[in-house]
Structure 1
Amino acid sequence: MPERPIRLFGDPVLKTVSAPVEQVDDRVRALVADLIDSVRLPGRAGVAASQIGVNLRAFSYNIDGEVGYVLNPELVEVSGEKEAIDEGCLSVPGLWKKTPRYPFARVRGIDLDGNEIEVSGTGLMAQALQHETDHLDGLLYLDRLENDERRSAMKEIRESDWF
């Protein structure tokens, strides 16, 4: 399967809460293949289904050479003090902002066989797990910014070539 085009800020699918995967069928298997192909491109840590225009709870990740996916992910644990970490998003190209994230995160979901899986980590993995589950809840990292920082980001977006 080919990588899929990434939906950009302003696309309504990015602000929509994703529906759970009710049944693993050929459509869901094709979605996972597309998510994996889409996240393997250089510079990508994660891709949520909503970012490729599919309103289902699924994402892929590519952290330190570990590539995987989670269906119906739920953020079940975060710990530590929130830290402001440089964060960007494929759906908001070229914009990086200090975003408050927990240093540890764990998600629980299922795989293509319906088996329960957990993915957890610190650093970039923790950030990606929080970022991608936010996407599935209709949130962008911009929604996590303080008011002044968010206003500044919105101005940069309005002035960008892609918006």
Structure 2
Amino acid sequence: MKKEAIITLPNPHLRQKSQRVHVVSDETRQLIKDMTDASIDWENSRPHEISAALAAVQIDRLERVVIVRADFEDKDNQEFIPLINPEIVKYEGEITYDYEGCLSVKDFYGKVPRYSKIRVKAINIDGDEIRIKANGFLARVLQHEIDHCNGIVFVDHIRDDHQAFYRLNDEGELDPLDYERYVKDNADLWD
């Protein structure tokens, strides 16, 4: 599967809740492969970005499946860990603000509030329940992807913050955007 399969706002499917997976089947495994292929193809088209994770809804499949990169630091390691029916069972720590991007929100980043620690339960590709204690960047990534399963996109967490939106420049640095102009010019992102 190629990066063109990744849907972007204002596609209304990104605002729908995904359905639970009842049986981990060959179809589920193929979905995970398709998600991984689309993520890697997207990443290969971007000199300064990695694909940290992807939810099934982002390739227009309303199933509660996410993949999370095994190593955020090594772009050459293209292994992803699948999580089926991921659910946050506990929020911990403090709320911190940091930059987030999304393969389904073209070319923009935002400064998003998230809990610094969470606990997640999910099913792995073998159908076994797993539990994860996550903090820092991994906690942020998991909250972002589980939001996708619930029809929420990161821009939904940003309100009235005049230093909230950014664009990646040619050097790979984030440049702030004018909040009012961004919101006005991109009103369809909140529809």
Instruction: Please give the TM-score of this superposition, normalised by the length of structure 2.
Output: 0.74
Letter of the structure 2 residue corresponding to residue 35 of structure 1 = M
1:91-110 correspondence runs (5 A): 91-110=104-123
Q: Quick one: distance in 1 between partners of 2:89 and 2:153?
A: 19
Q: Deviations over 1:63-106 (max 9, x none)?
A: 42562010001011221110111111111111111100111122
Q: Could you say which residue in structure 1 is the equivalent of 2:11?
A: 11
Q: Quick one: distance in 2 between partners of 1:156 and 1:79?
A: 36
Counterpart selection for 2:184 from 152, 155, 160: 155
Are the aligned partners of 2:2 and 2:38 in contact in 1 as well (CA < 8 Å)?
Answer: yes
Q: Could you say which residue in structure 1 is the equivalent of 2:56?
A: 49
Q: Does 1:76 align with 2:89?
A: yes
Q: Could you say which residue in structure 2 is the equivalent of 1:114?
A: 127
Q: Deviations over 1:39-81 (max 9, x none)?
A: 3453111100000000000000114256201000101122111
Do the aligned partners of residues 38 and 117 (structure 1) sit closer, same or farther apart at CA in structure 2, a change above 3 Å counting?
A: farther
Following superposition, the deviation at residue 122 of structure 1 comes to 1.9
Identity %: 34
Q: Does 1:60 align with 2:89?
A: no
Query: What is the alpha-carbon root mean square deviation over aligned residues?
Result: 2.2
Letter of the structure 1 residue corresponding to residue 28 of structure 2 = V
Do the aligned partners of residues 92 and 102 (structure 1) sit closer, same or farther apart at CA in structure 2, a change above 3 Å counting?
A: same
Question: Which ranges in structure 1 are unaligned for 5 or more consecutive residues?
Answer: none
Following superposition, the deviation at residue 11 of structure 1 comes to 0.8
Equivalent position SS for 1:82? strand
1:118-157 correspondence runs (5 A): 118-147=131-160, 152=180, 153-157=182-186
Do the aligned partners of residues 110 and 40 (structure 1) sit closer, same or farther apart at CA in structure 2, a change above 3 Å counting?
A: same
Are the aligned partners of 2:88 and 2:121 in contact in 1 as well (CA < 8 Å)?
Answer: yes
Q: Quick one: distance in 1 between partners of 2:85 and 2:131?
A: 11
Q: Does 1:25 align with 2:29?
A: no
Q: Quick one: distance in 1 between partners of 2:134 and 2:184?
A: 33
Are the aligned partners of 1:74 and 1:109 in contact in 2 as well (CA < 8 Å)?
Answer: yes
When structure 1 is superposed on structure 2, of 105-114 and 92-101 the one drifting more is 105-114
Look at both structures and tell me which one has the larger radius of gyration over its CA atoms.
Answer: 2
Q: Quick one: distance in 2 between partners of 1:86 and 1:142?
A: 11
Are the aligned partners of 1:75 and 1:107 in contact in 2 as well (CA < 8 Å)?
Answer: yes
Aligned length: 158
Do the aligned partners of residues 98 and 6 (structure 1) sit closer, same or farther apart at CA in structure 2, a change above 3 Å counting?
A: same
Q: Following superposition, which runs of at least 4 residues in structure 1 exceed 6 angstroms of deviation?
A: none
